[in-house]
Amino acid sequence: MTYCFNPKLSDLLVVSSVRYRPCDVNSERILFENADLPGIVESFTHEELSDLLKSPDVGGLGNF
């Protein structure tokens, strides 16, 4: 199954109490920047993000 997320720049992803904001989205991946430590960036494929959102220590606000 193909997943495709389209987060807005105002959305927030929380992973183990660390807040991330999307900073770049394309058809293959999404880059998230640490909201509290700019410059620290994590990259996820859409499928990896789908799996991550199923984890109990992850919360998302916005369009996820």
> Residue 47 falls within a domain, yes or no?
yes
Q: Which residue range forms the structural domain that includes residue 22?
A: 12-61
Is 26 inside any structural domain?
yes
Residue 6 in domain = no
48: in domain: yes
Low-confidence stretches of the chain (pLDDT beneath 70): 1-3, 61-64
- What's the whole-model pTM score? 0.81
pLDDT at 61: 60
7 within a domain of the structure (yes/no): no
Concatenate the DSSP letters of all residues of 9-31 into one string: TT-EEEETTEEEEEEEE-SSEEE
**36 assigned to some structural domain:** yes
Residue 32's pLDDT is 96
> Using CA of residue 20, residue 62, residue 49, residue 30, what is the dihedral sign?
negative
State the total domains in the chain. 1
Whether 23 is in a domain gets the answer yes
